Amino acid sequence: MISAQNTIRPRPHTTYRSFVEAHIRQSIAQCYQCGKCTAGCPVAYTMELTPRRVIRALQLGLENELENSSTMWICLSCLTCSARCPREINIAGVMEALRLATIGKKPTPDQKKFRLFHDLFIMSFQFSGRAYELGLGMAYNVMSGQFLNMASIIPGMLRRGKLAFLPHKSRGSETQHIFQRLEGQNKAMNQAEAGTK
């Protein structure tokens, strides 16, 4: 039986909740836990905290659970959850905010793995405009020390044309331009912040 003592009460003002709500400019109190976000998320089955549970953890102020979760690094930013939410909560934005909020913290071993993959994916996209799967997989295996991770499926994928030997170079210059603009914006923001201190 649940007693009043061990009931977790919602906490409207915690560090992560305030940061997330400022980032998405919405109140996550709007969430009524219907679970449509999790039901549509293509990678929810790999997450220990699904999107619905992330929102609940924010509502309840479960900061440790959020900080030790890998969910925000597994998230693909596909926006399916945000599109399905009947309360129009920007859940993909919540994941982005949690990545920003935890980026300077010491990662757990799982977070380290997912963050490495995340960073390599972004680098691959920045370089060629599309993910270069073979290079990404090889770089991940070398840098994570799992040299033969999934190596057995590579010959079959190459044979069926599911993996390319060389990176696609079609939109590389366009994406590099986008990244340069983002870097410029970040620099300007940092300078503006430094000026207000």
Return residues touching ligand SF4 (CB under 6 A). Answer: 31-37, 40-43, 51-52, 55, 75-81, 84-87, 89, 91-92, 95
83 contacts 66 by C-beta, under 8 angstroms: no
Cβ proximity to ligand SF4, 29 vs 164, nearer residue? 29
Q: Which is nearer to ligand SF4, 17 or 52 (CB)?
A: 52
The count of other CB atoms within 10 Å of the CB of residue 82 is 20
CB 72 within 8 A of CB 53: no
Q: What DSSP designation does 145 have?
A: T
Least distance in angstroms from the C-beta of 94 to ligand SF4: 8
Question: Identity (one letter) of the amino acid at 174?
Answer: E
We find the least distance from the C-beta atom of residue 120 to ligand SF4, in angstroms, to be 18
Identify which of residues 46 and 146 has a Cβ nearer to ligand SF4 in the complex: 46
User: Minimum distance from CB of 173 to ligand SF4 (Å)?
Assistant: 27
Of the pair 36, 129, the CB lying nearest ligand SF4 is at 36
CB of 118 to ligand SF4, least distance (A): 12
Tokens representing 189 are: 């923001």
Helices marked H in 106-162: 109-128, 133-144, 154-159
* DSSP symbol at 28: G
